[in-house]
Amino acid sequence: MPSSSPESVPTTMARGTAAGLVGVVAMTAFQRLVEMPLTGREESYAPATLVEKVLPVAPRRGRDRRRLNYAAHLAVGLTWGVGHALIAKRTSLRGQRAVATAFGVIYAGDVLGNTALGLDKPWEWSLQDLGIDVGDKLLLAEVTGLVFDRLRDDTD
pLDDT band at residue 61 under the 50/70/90 scheme: confident
Q: Averaged over 27-32, what is the pLDDT?
A: 96
35-54 per-position pLDDT tens digit: 999 999 999 999 999 999 99
Predicted model pTM: 0.90
> At residue 25, what are phi and psi to the nearest 5 degrees?
-65, -45
Report the distance separating Cα 14 and Cα 48, nearest Å: 24
Domain spans in the chain, listed from the N-terminal domain onward = 20-153
- Residue 119 predicted with pLDDT over 80: yes
pLDDT band at residue 155 under the 50/70/90 scheme: low
